[in-house]
Amino acid sequence: MKKPADTRTMNFFDCNCSYGVPSHPAFRFARTPAELLEEMDWCGIDRGLVYVAGLRYGSPVLWNELTAPDLASQPRLEPTWGILPSQTGEQSPPEQFVTQMKASGVRALWAFPNEHHYRLDGVTFGDLLELLTEKHIPLFVKLNAIALGELMKDFPDLTAVAVNQGPHSLERYLRPLFDTYPNLYLDTSYLLVEGLIEEFCERYGPRRLLFGSAFPDNCSGSALLRLTQAEIDDEAKRAIAGDNLERLLEEVRI
């Protein structure tokens, strides 16, 4: 068998990591972007697509605006924003929202429907999600697989990244979705169950898997070691480690 690639030469781009101060912190977390970078250095992770803890546990009304300036001096960290329904006036109408994203250098969005208490569907988000689809803006979605299926039924072409799908194996729910929706992606942060990465690659190829650590929910080193030791070829590992996310962000049209 061919000797596997030296993992130090791989480019890791973490699609799911966070800094900031939630009300209930992890035993160890990153208060600031600098602390997040220190953790990434410790593990050998090159770059991060980052959300601030307030975007999930607090309100995007407050934290969307604060994220980009926080990260302006950190070329290794790229900011994301959270979405809310625009009907309440808490978030600008879709066109304006995307213009604001552009002005702040934001190319990817997060949806936390359970944390922020809304339905991620066509009735609530029709205009915005159509616009995101058209502009290839990836939406990171933390939602259980049944609700995720409802979303994809309404927006089958949306570039959606399903995150935190675990720690149990959810294949009986997820495979029908991945079989059906070619723009549905999956992050690796909760693929704890042995063999899931390998079987995903076998069934779909590596194109739709993105390396994510879910730091500080989980330890960055877990998803990192898991991916480096996956029984897939080096090219697939490189794609998952960073190239796929890089491509997704390059495809954004705003």
Give residues in contact with another protein (CB under 8 A).
Answer: 6-8, 12, 24-29, 41-46, 114, 142-146, 164-173, 190, 192-196, 198-199, 214-226, 228-229
Query: Residue 60 or 242: which CB sits closer to another protein?
Result: 242
**Minimum Å distance from CB 237 to another protein?**
12
Cα 184 to Cα 178: distance, rounded to the nearest angstrom:
6
**Minimum Å distance from CB 201 to another protein?**
12
DSSP for 33-72, please give it: HHHHHHHHHHHT--EEEEEEHHHHHS-HHHHHHHHHHHHT
Nearest to 195 by CA among 178, 174, 171, 218: 171
The kind and range of the H/E element at 13 are strand 13-19
**Minimum Å distance from CB 234 to another protein?**
13
Query: Residue 32 or 99: which CB sits closer to another protein?
Result: 32
The kind and range of the H/E element at 202 are helix 196-204
Query: Residue 104 or 144: which CB sits closer to another protein?
Result: 144
**Minimum Å distance from CB 13 to another protein?**
11
Query: Residue 172 or 253: which CB sits closer to another protein?
Result: 172
Identify the three-state secondary structure at position 253: coil
